Amino acid sequence: EVSSQGGFPPYETLHGAGAEPVVFMIDHFVVGGFYRVHTGRGKDENLNAPGMHFEPLAFEDCCSQPDPFADADATPNRFYAYGVVARLALLAASIELEETAPSA
């Protein structure tokens, strides 16, 4: 089965354009992702519209742990935060599926 879980506007920019991270998971593992970018829309607007393009999220190193010696905005820490949010969304979706499953 494939499940898609939407998030909330991250209010981010990439190269001056509105951007939002999209994270891919297999089971409970974050395996990659990309930024959805739209040069014609602001960071607080829906970026899923004609004119959007995609930039890879380059997972340079494993992002299962934050880097305590780097700034909060450093690449590994941002990717770690994206992964935490993705895993929480997965947990919420699994609870929702369980609670709405028809009784056997």
**pLDDT for the residue 63:** 65
Domain that holds residue 55: 12-100
Question: What is d(CA 6, CA 36) in angstroms, rounded to the nearest whole number?
Answer: 13
- Mean pLDDT over residues 71-90, rounded? 86
**pLDDT for the residue 69:** 92
- Dihedral angle at the C-alpha atoms of 34, 2, 96, 25, nearest 10 degrees? -40
pLDDT over 70 (residue 10) = no
Query: Between 32 and 9, whose confidence is greater?
Result: 32
Residue at 1 is within a domain: no
Residue at 2 is within a domain: no
Place of tokens 């297999």: 26
pLDDT over 90 (residue 53) = yes
Residue at 6 is within a domain: no
Query: Considering its fold, how many domains does the chain have in total?
Result: 1
Question: What is d(CA 5, CA 89) in angstroms, rounded to the nearest whole number?
Answer: 7
Contact 29, 70 (CB under 8 A): no
**Is the pTM above the cut of 0.85?**
no
Residue at 62 is within a domain: yes
pLDDT over 80 (residue 14) = yes
